[in-house]
Amino acid sequence: MAGRLDGKVALITGASSGIGKATAFAFAREGAAVVVTARREAETEETARLIRDAGGRAISVATDVSSEPQVQSLIETALRTYGRLDIAVNNAGIFGAEGPVHAVPAEYWDAIVGTNLKGTWLCMKHELPAMLAQGGGSIVNMASTAGVAGWADAPLYATTKFGVIGLTKSAALQYAPAGIRINAVCPAFTMIESVDSLVTQAPAAGERLAGTIPLGRIATMEEVAEATLWLASDAASFCVGHALVLDGGQTIGLWK
């Protein structure tokens, strides 16, 4: 049976761990040749190696998405290696303890906006010309439920994710006539490595996170990867400018 992404070339940022790594595995399983990238060179190459060991096609390119020269070089490498770029998942992002807005250092603002929002824009800036040249493509940006409803514990992170959704919707209007679909995924708390470690070390903290979700549990990385795969694939061919909320009911209304 043919894979859903047979013959496609996909780029996934932030693929050294977490949702990005799970997405790279899912795309490769469905037949895509993947370009995986993140700042951590060894971990990113490990993602590519595991895909190749499983019979898939993958290369890794260490990239800081807040640096335009590095992003430009990344896209050039992808095109030089595979000749085209059909899908891009702009997943790279950072998150940290914030506290009150008035107490957050300016350096933290620069770092989180530089990666989460500027980085998403820079990737799109260099992905889009490749897709325009070939007559179409699909971009999925990684947002968050923090881009749908405010997060009291992470106002700057939420700001970047609201921005990602605004960028997604606005760019989708510009590029849909050219056959390029741009959408976003908005996951709630997901069992990435850092959350798994937190839940293991402090089960009560995990219970508090799960308690914000009507389904009563935290999402798995694979669930987010599958939603991203659907949006990126031809199965979502009429889906444009959508922010797919994947939250177990967290943002529908007052829960607890």
pLDDT given at position 235 = 97
Cα-flanking dihedrals φ and ψ of residue 69, to 5°?
A: -60, -40
Domain positions in the chain are: 9-189+221-245
pLDDT given at position 195 = 67
Q: Please name the residues in contact with 5: beta carbons below 8 A apart, sequence gap of 6 or more.
A: 27, 30, 31, 32, 87, 229, 232, 233
What CA–CA distance (Å, rounded) separates 200 from 86? 38
9-189+221-245 architecture in CATH? 3-Layer(aba) Sandwich (3.40)
Q: State the alpha helices, DSSP H only, in 35-118.
A: 41-53, 68-82, 106-112
Burial label for 132, CB within 10 Å (0-12, 13-18, 19+), is: middle
Distance from chain centroid for Cα 105: 26
Q: Please name the residues in contact with 48: beta carbons below 8 A apart, sequence gap of 6 or more.
A: 34, 36, 58, 59, 60
Report the predicted TM-score, pTM, of the whole model to 2 decimal places: 0.94
pLDDT given at position 207 = 84
Task: Tell me which DSSP letter residue 87 carries.
Answer: E
**Token digits for 140?**
């999925």
Of 89, 80, 87, 77, residue with least CA distance to 18: 89
Write the CA distances from 168 to 96, 139, 187, integer angstroms: 23, 9, 15
What CA–CA distance (Å, rounded) separates 153 from 16? 26
Q: Which of 82, 108, 157, 175 is catalytic?
A: 157
Per-residue pLDDT of the chain (256 residues; tens, 9 = 90+): 579 999 999 999 999 999 999 999 999 999 999 999 999 999 999 999 999 999 999 999 999 999 999 999 999 999 999 999 999 999 999 988 888 999 999 999 999 999 999 999 999 999 999 999 999 999 999 999 999 998 888 999 999 999 999 999 999 999 999 999 999 999 998 877 776 676 677 788 778 888 889 999 889 999 999 999 999 999 999 999 999 999 999 998 866 6
What CA–CA distance (Å, rounded) separates 210 from 249? 11
pLDDT given at position 227 = 97
Residue 157 is among the residues annotated as catalytic for this protein: yes
Cα-flanking dihedrals φ and ψ of residue 34, to 5°?
A: -115, 145
**Token digits for 225?**
């990867």
Residue type, 216: G
pLDDT given at position 231 = 98
